[in-house]
């Protein structure tokens, strides 16, 4: 009996010792172990481990990009055919599927952002007149005019407009010096390292200037003895009287001007078609497939300055005495003023400037203005100082400055500016 009891006790003891073996059967291992797992060891000792406890979840590519560029600093290319609203346009411009047309004098773009390294524009230019192929530019950085005059030849080109050694906020302004009678320009994209902000806001004042080569700035950076005077090398619209007035007034502007334009006639293109189309030169060069008219409703100028009548005199004197007779000029002056007001409204003030190279048809133009009501109808005429010291007898930069200084007091009086 005692022997039987001992056997039962021994059996129970053996069963108790075997219990851990059955408890470990979920591990799928044949041999049990009393050692803690590596995961458990880390928990007990609070030691860090390079091995992840769980497989990380993959982030979407866009989230990774945002995480890597928390400040938005990356190499970017702004397609101006799609994102033209990233820049402010200056002067008379128009849009294409591939970019922004900046054909006219002093047209261009302005943009603000965080930038470092090179700022490069993709541009396409083409020559309009034989031998006149180079397009010239003025660049402003943070409102400061840069000394270097940039240029490109026809075709697709890369135009480096700025370089910043360190990351910072900047405003870059790129303006075409060259008139549309010489070259056409399309700005397709901007490449930079950084990010662009919203474009600069419109300024409170907006002026429009209409004219011929005198308004383009033709010859202003040359001399009477300069070779090949009728080429873009001697022309800078950003040193013309109209542009100077815009700067002095801190105003936005449009300059609609072309060498050879007259009131009753022209060496090249008629003023009414040239004025009405977004880019008459592009219209001609495209075999009339480009036929966009300017959208006058986009913005109405506070004042318009006109400087025409010089070519009418020389067309009559040097080309054909039956062209541009004084009485015809007077009649067409009246028609042009009416046309401009039809585009913008009857109340828009107009100042007619005349006398840069002579007062040949002053009385005829003044006669048309008086017939329309003169100053009582907000139509004014003013004689500007004569200056023929530039290339081919055009005004110099100093001559443009003198004209701007003569016009400014009258313009401020009309606009009520102290």
**Structure-model confidence comparison of residues 18 and 260, the more confident one:** 260
Helix (H) or strand (E) holding 95, with range, is: strand 94-95
Tokens of 230: 């009728």
Tokens of 300: 């109405």
Tokens of 221: 């950076």
DSSP result, 393-417: G---HHHHHHHHHHHHHHHHHHHT-
- Give the whole-angstrom CA distance, residue 409 versus residue 418: 9
Question: What pLDDT shows up at residue 72?
Answer: 64
Sequence length of the chain is 418
With 0-12 / 13-18 / 19 or more C-beta atoms within 10 angstroms meaning exposed / middle / buried, residue 324 is: buried
Q: Look-up: residue for tokens 């994209």? A: 189
Task: Give the residue range(s) of CATH 3.40.50.1110 domains in the chain.
Answer: 202-418
Q: b/e string for 169-196 if b means 16 or more Cβ within 10 A? A: ebbbbbbbbbbbbbbbbbbbbbbbbbeb
Closest CA to 123 of 188, 175, 77, 183: 188
Q: What tens digit of pLDDT does each residue of 157-198 get?
A: 999 999 999 999 999 999 999 999 999 999 999 999 999 999
Statement: residue 60 has pLDDT above 50: no
Q: Which CATH class is domain 202-418?
A: alpha beta
Closest CA to 110 of 93, 92, 82, 86: 86
Q: What is the mean pLDDT of residues 82-111?
A: 97
Statement: residue 268 has pLDDT above 50: yes
CA atoms within 13 A on the CB side of 390: 29
Task: Give the residue range(s) of CATH 2.60.120.260 domains in the chain.
Answer: 72-199
Q: What tens digit of pLDDT does each residue of 297-349 get?
A: 999 999 999 999 999 999 999 999 999 999 999 999 999 999 999 999 999 99
Task: Assign 170 to helix, strand or coil.
Answer: strand
Contact 174, 109 (CB under 8 A): yes
pTM equals 0.83
Tokens of 279: 């880019």
CATH 2.60.120.10 for domain 72-199, yes or no, is no
Predicted confidence band of residue 391 (pLDDT cuts 50, 70, 90): very high
Q: What is the mean pLDDT of residues 145-150?
A: 97
Predicted confidence band of residue 18 (pLDDT cuts 50, 70, 90): very low
Cα dihedral 337, 338, 344, 349, rounded to 10, equals: 50
Question: What pLDDT shows up at residue 131?
Answer: 82
Tokens of 58: 């993959």
Question: What pLDDT shows up at residue 73?
Answer: 85
Q: What tens digit of pLDDT does each residue of 373-389 get?
A: 999 999 999 999 999 99
The CA-atom distances, in angstroms, between 135 and each of 1, 126, 132, 226 are 122, 8, 9, 19
Order of strands across the sheet that contains 379-383: 251-257, 205-211, 303-307, 350-354, 379-383
Q: b/e string for 101-134 if b means 16 or more Cβ within 10 A? A: bbbbbbbbbbbbbbbbbebbbbbbbbbbeeebbb
* Radius of gyration in angstroms for the set of CA atoms belonging to the chain, rounded to a whole number: 37
Q: Calculate the average pLDDT of the chain.
A: 87
Question: What pLDDT shows up at residue 70?
Answer: 52
Question: What pLDDT shows up at residue 358?
Answer: 96
**Structure-model confidence comparison of residues 48 and 409, the more confident one:** 409
Contact 292, 94 (CB under 8 A): yes
Question: What pLDDT shows up at residue 48?
Answer: 35
**Structure-model confidence comparison of residues 20 and 265, the more confident one:** 265
For 313-369, strand residue ranges (E) read 350-354
- Give the whole-angstrom CA distance, residue 245 versus residue 394: 19
Question: What pLDDT shows up at residue 56?
Answer: 38
Could you say which DSSP state residue 315 is in? I
Question: What pLDDT shows up at residue 51?
Answer: 35
With 0-12 / 13-18 / 19 or more C-beta atoms within 10 angstroms meaning exposed / middle / buried, residue 405 is: middle
Question: What pLDDT shows up at residue 46?
Answer: 36
Q: Look-up: residue for tokens 């506070």? A: 302
First to last CA, the chain: 129
């Amino acid at each position: 009996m005692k022997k039987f009891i001992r056997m039962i006790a021994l059996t129970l003891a053996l069963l108790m010792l075997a219990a851990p073996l059955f408890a470990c059967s979920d591990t799928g291992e044949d041999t049990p172990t009393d050692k803690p797992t590596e995961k458990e060891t880390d928990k007990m000792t609070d030691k860090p481990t390079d091995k992840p406890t769980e497989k990380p979840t993959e982030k979407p590519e866009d989230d990774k990009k945002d995480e890597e560029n928390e400040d938005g600093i990356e190499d970017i290319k702004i397609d101006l055919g799609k994102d033209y609203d990233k820049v402010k346009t200056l002067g008379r411009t128009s849009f294409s599927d591939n970019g922004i047309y900046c054909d006219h004098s002093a047209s261009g773009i302005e943009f603000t952002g965080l930038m470092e390294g090179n700022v490069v524009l993709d541009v396409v230019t083409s020559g309009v007149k034989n031998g006149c192929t180079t397009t010239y530019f003025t660049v402003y950085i943070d409102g400061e005019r840069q000394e270097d005059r940039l240029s490109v030849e026809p075709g697709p080109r890369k135009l480096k407009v700025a370089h910043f050694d360190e990351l910072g906020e900047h405003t870059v302004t790129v303006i075409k010096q060259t008139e549309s009678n010489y070259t056409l320009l399309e700005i397709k994209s901007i490449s930079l390292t950084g990010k662009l902000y919203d474009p600069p806001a419109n300024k409170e004042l907006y002026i429009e200037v209409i004219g011929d080569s005198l308004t383009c700035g033709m010859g202003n950076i040359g001399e009477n003895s300069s070779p090949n005077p009728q080429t873009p090398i001697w022309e800078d619209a950003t040193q013309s009287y109209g542009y100077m007035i815009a700067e002095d007034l801190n105003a936005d502007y449009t300059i609609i001007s072309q060498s050879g334009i007259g009131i009753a006639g022209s060496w090249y293109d008629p003023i009414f078609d040239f004025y009405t189309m977004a880019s008459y030169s592009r219209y001609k060069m495209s075999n009339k497939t480009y036929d966009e008219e300017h959208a006058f409703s986009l913005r109405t100028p506070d004042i318009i300055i006109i400087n025409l009548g010089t070519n009418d005199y020389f067309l009559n004197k040097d080309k054909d005495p039956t062209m541009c007779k004084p009485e015809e000029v007077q009649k067409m002056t009246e028609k042009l003023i009416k046309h401009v007001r039809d585009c913008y409204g009857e109340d828009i003030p107009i100042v007619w400037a005349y006398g840069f190279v002579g007062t040949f048809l002053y009385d005829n133009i003044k006669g048309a203005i008086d017939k329309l009501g003169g100053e009582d109808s907000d139509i004014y005429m003013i004689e500007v100082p004569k200056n023929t010291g530039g290339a081919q007898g055009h005004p110099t930069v100093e001559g443009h400055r003198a004209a701007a200084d003569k016009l400014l007091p009258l313009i401020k009086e009309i606009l009520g500016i102290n």
